[in-house]
Amino acid sequence: MIKMIALYKQPKDKKKFDEHYFGTHAPITAKIPGLRKMEVTKITGTPMGGESEYYLLCEMYYDSYEAFKAAMKTSEAKASGKDLMSFAGDIVTLMVGEEVKND
Amino acid sequence: MIKMIALYKQPKDKKKFDEHYFGTHAPITAKIPGLRKMEVTKITGTPMGGESEYYLLCEMYYDSYEAFKAAMKTSEAKASGKDLMSFAGDIVTLMVGEEVKND
């Protein structure tokens, strides 16, 4: 599968971030047509026990590049992107990737 | 579930990286006791079409923090960690996270 990955650095205000992320952003994003699965991971630290530079990882799965590209053109995706920039534009890194191994 | 995340920046030599990663590192890592699933994603770019700073994302799933901590103490995990440092110590970021949403 193809996935879009959003990796967020530690926000200044975690409570505010969580409220917006889970209360507004995730529901808007979940409406994007063609989105097959959305996996959200809260980063809790590093293997050595310290705090990570990162706070949250979201993976959004699509069937193919074509499906992903088509999805990005929808008004739902544009609304999600606009919302993202409004609350996390300065701390988010976006990537597109292809699952090569899953076992 | 709990996951360890390894995020790799673009390596200088992608062919050499891939050979070591898929031929040596992934098989060593797959032997870690308690590891439930290993998902590898090749980063192909950004949503805007540009090249990403990142090259590969690997997610290694465990049943719980306790299982993860116990796994990290095994000789297999130590061998994986040692191998990781030998070929990608300068380009990898390690995180531990907890799946909070999967739908």
Residues in chain B: 103
Identify the segments of chain B with pLDDT beneath 70: none
Using the Cβ of A64 and the Cβ atoms of chain B, whether some distance falls under 8 Å is answered with no
Identity of the residue numbered A15 = K
Q: What is the pLDDT of residue A103?
A: 72
B34 CA to chain A: closest CA distance, Å?
Answer: 13
Q: Which chain B residue lies closest to A53 (C-alpha atoms)?
A: B95
ipTM associated with this complex: 0.93
φ, ψ of residue A85 to 5 degrees: the values are -65, -30
Query: Residue A90: enclosing H or E segment and its boundaries?
Result: none
Those residues whose C-beta lies under 8 Å from the C-beta of residue A94, and which sit 6 or more positions away, are A4, A5, A6, B46, B47, B48
Q: Report, as an integer, the average pLDDT of A45-72.
A: 96
Sign of the alpha-carbon dihedral angle for B49, B52, B56, B59: negative
Chain A partners of B38 at a C-beta cutoff of 8 Å? Answer: 101-103
Tokens, residue A72:
């990005």
Q: What is the pLDDT of residue B101?
A: 79
Nearest-CA neighbor of A91 among A3, A1, A2, A16? A16
